[in-house]
């Protein structure tokens, strides 16, 4: 039977909180193979249902319930595989998969990854290189917490992603204002409505200097296959950690790359992850590799577009769809060319009114695609409150250096029009509502 015929009989459940370009990329990959996609989301009321599939309304913060809902739906609508996009749906995905007998990492392993604190605790117990850390709740007085902090440190919430709310502090004053800023962020309605457990708990960890890399991989029976090792050539020294450029192949030495691969494999074993996509971040310095985080999900945003596999240059989304459904083509090797992606940074919070210079940027040699993903007139927040990029620039070139410089040259041609939002203060006191991003 041809790949298309085998695939045509398959049903893939895509779980996602963010509706938009990443979900669409995966649905398109499935559609290319004739696979039926069913969406499960906690944003169903916003779903534009482009594939005319009724989406399952789920609450990812109540994974047991969400899994039961999926199992109920599976009685009338077959589900052969589940892919979770982003961190939020991973536990519901793992629980539903376990109940339906679908290959997936065990729910306990996925739960461990979902909390930055739990993940650190398990990795430290396994003797893996993680920074020193402790957690505290926002009910404690920062003054009392301060006694335990060693500087420089990084303060972060337990379950957010995309570096949202991650702040470096070098002294007591910076620590106190970082905690206040994270508290204000966590009190915003946008985050309160997620009802994530332990939103009031923060993690404090030692700041790890060094170069940062991201590993993109897939797991099969606990074996990690590394699909790409990305360098992050910007110096990510804080105080905020907005991502920008990812370039592959890595320019680290063979020995450094091997050390990172070994560390990634040890993390997978310690966390007891077994199946599905994996995205992990590490820093490397003279002491060796350090684990920043390991997540059982694919890379976010549109970044996956930068990776292509096999003679037909299928995208990472296509490879992952084949992988979770056990279809042929999942073993294809990544093309040998250098490639890079820039998550276009948000220079300041405000209303996005458009961008000039797109044509010049797209015309830079090596730039193969540019996509602005923020809608004109939408509010966009800069880091640490922010969690979405303005868009993405993609480059392919003869070497990683050339890919990186194409991205930088193209980015320099963009003139972003972001207008400050007028803060609406209290009519009597003039005070701003808690959590309003400070422009």
**Which residues would be at the binding site for ligand ADP (CB under 6 A)?**
116, 131, 154, 156, 160-164, 166, 205, 207-208, 212, 236, 241, 281, 292-293
Handedness of CA 293, 296, 301, 303 (dihedral sign): positive
Q: Which of 73, 145 has the CB closer to ligand ADP?
A: 145
In whole angstroms, the minimum distance from the beta carbon of 168 to ligand ADP comes to: 7
Q: Which is nearer to ligand ADP, 162 or 390 (CB)?
A: 162
Q: Which is nearer to ligand ADP, 302 or 319 (CB)?
A: 302
Q: CB of residue 165 vs ligand ADP: minimum separation in angstroms?
A: 7
Nearest residue (beta carbon) to ligand ADP: 241
Min dist. Cβ of residue 132 to ligand ADP (A): 9
Cα 242–Cα 246–Cα 248 angle in degrees, nearest 5: 165
Q: How far is the CB of 205 from ligand ADP (least distance, A)?
A: 4
The owner of tokens 């009910």 is 139
**Alpha carbon of 218 to those of 60, 87, 223, 368: distances in Å?**
23, 16, 8, 26
In the complex, minimum distance from the CB of residue 87 to ligand ADP, in angstroms, rounded to a whole number: 7
State which residue, 220 or 234, has the beta carbon closest to ligand ADP.
234
Please, which residue, 212 or 318, has the CB nearer to ligand ADP? 212
Contacts made by residues 191-197, CB under 8 angstroms, sequence distance 24+: 191/160, 191/435, 194/61, 194/88, 195/59, 195/61, 196/61, 196/88, 196/158, 196/159, 196/160, 197/61, 197/159
Q: Is the distance from CB of 217 to CB of 227 less than 8 angstroms?
A: yes
In angstroms, the first-to-last Cα distance of the chain is 58
Identity of the residue, 80 or 205, whose beta carbon is nearer to ligand ADP in the bound complex: 205
Q: Do residues 59 and 40 touch, judged by C-beta distance below 8 A?
A: no
Measured from the CB atom, is 29 or 109 closer to ligand ADP? 109
Cα 274 from Cα 222, distance rounded (Å) = 4
Question: Of 211, 408, 250, nearest to 339 (Cα)?
Answer: 250
Give the pairing of strands 415-419 and 167-169.
Answer: unpaired
CB of 236 to ligand ADP, least distance (A): 4
Shortest Å, Cβ 54 to ligand ADP: 32
Rounded to whole angstroms, the Cα distance separating 65 from 52 reads: 25
Q: How far is the CB of 153 from ligand ADP (least distance, A)?
A: 8
CB of 394 to ligand ADP, least distance (A): 21
In the bound state with ligand ADP, the residue whose beta carbon lies nearer, of 36 and 388, is 388
Q: Contact at 8 Å (CB) between 42 and 116? A: no
Q: Which is nearer to ligand ADP, 171 or 399 (CB)?
A: 171
CA distances from 314 to 85, 219, 276, 426 (A): 19, 19, 18, 53
- The Cα 371–Cα 421 span in angstroms is 24
Burial class for 221, CB neighbours closer than 10 Å (0-12, 13-18, 19+): exposed
Q: How far is the CB of 320 from ligand ADP (least distance, A)?
A: 20
Which is closer to ligand ADP, CB of 156 or CB of 330? 156
Q: DSSP strand E in 86-188: where?
A: 133-137, 153-157, 167-169
Query: Which residues are CB-contacts of 374 (< 8 A; sequence separation ≥ 6)?
Result: 352, 380, 388, 389, 390, 391
């Amino acid at each position: 039977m041809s790949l298309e015929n085998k695939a045509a009989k398959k049903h893939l459940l895509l779980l996602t909180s963010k509706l938009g370009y990443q979900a669409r990329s995966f649905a398109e990959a499935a559609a290319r193979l004739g696979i039926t996609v069913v969406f499960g989301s906690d944003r169903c009321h916003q779903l534009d249902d482009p594939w005319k599939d009724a989406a399952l309304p789920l609450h990812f913060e109540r994974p047991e319930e969400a899994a039961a809902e999926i199992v109920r739906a599976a009685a009338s609508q077959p589900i052969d595989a589940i892919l979770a996009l982003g961190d939020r749906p991973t536990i519901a995905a793992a629980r539903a998969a376990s109940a339906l007998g679908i290959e997936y990492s065990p729910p306990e392993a996925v739960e461990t990854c979902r909390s930055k604190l739990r993940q650190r605790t398990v990795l430290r117990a396994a003797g893996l290189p993680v920074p020193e850390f402790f957690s505290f709740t926002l009910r404690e007085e920062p003054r009392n917490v301060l006694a335990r902090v060693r500087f420089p440190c990084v303060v972060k919430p337990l379950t957010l992603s995309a570096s949202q709310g991650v702040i470096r502090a070098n002294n007591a004053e910076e620590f106190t204002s970082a905690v206040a800023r994270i508290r204000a962020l966590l009190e915003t309605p946008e985050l309160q409505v997620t009802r994530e457990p332990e939103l009031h708990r923060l993690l404090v960890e030692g700041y790890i200097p060094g170069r940062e890399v991201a590993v993109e991989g897939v797991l099969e029976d606990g074996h990690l296959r590394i699909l790409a090792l990305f360098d992050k050539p910007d110096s990510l020294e804080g105080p905020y950690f907005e991502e920008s450029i990812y370039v592959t192949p890595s320019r680290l030495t063979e020995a450094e790359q091997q050390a990172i691969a070994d560390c990634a494999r040890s993390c997978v074993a310690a966390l007891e992850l077994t199946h599905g996509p994996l995205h992990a971040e590490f820093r490397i310095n003279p002491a060796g590799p350090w684990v920043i985080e390991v997540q059982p999900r694919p890379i976010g945003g549109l970044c996956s577009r930068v990776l292509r596999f096999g003679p037909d240059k299928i995208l990472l989304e296509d490879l992952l769809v084949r992988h979770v459904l056990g279809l042929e083509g999942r073993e294809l090797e990544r093309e040998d060319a250098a490639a890079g992606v820039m998550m276009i940074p948000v220079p300041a919070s405000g209303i996005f009114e458009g961008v000039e210079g797109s044509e010049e940027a797209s015309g830079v040699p090596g730039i193969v695609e540019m996509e602005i993903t923020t809608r004109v007139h939408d509010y966009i927040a800069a880091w640490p409150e922010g969690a979405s990029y303005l868009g993405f620039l993609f480059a392919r070139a003869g070497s990683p250096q050339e890919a990186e410089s194409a991205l930088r040259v193209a980015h320099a041609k963009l003139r972003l029009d972001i207008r400050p939002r007028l803060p609406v203060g209290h009519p009597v006191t003039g005070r701003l509502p808690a959590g309003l991003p400070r422009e």
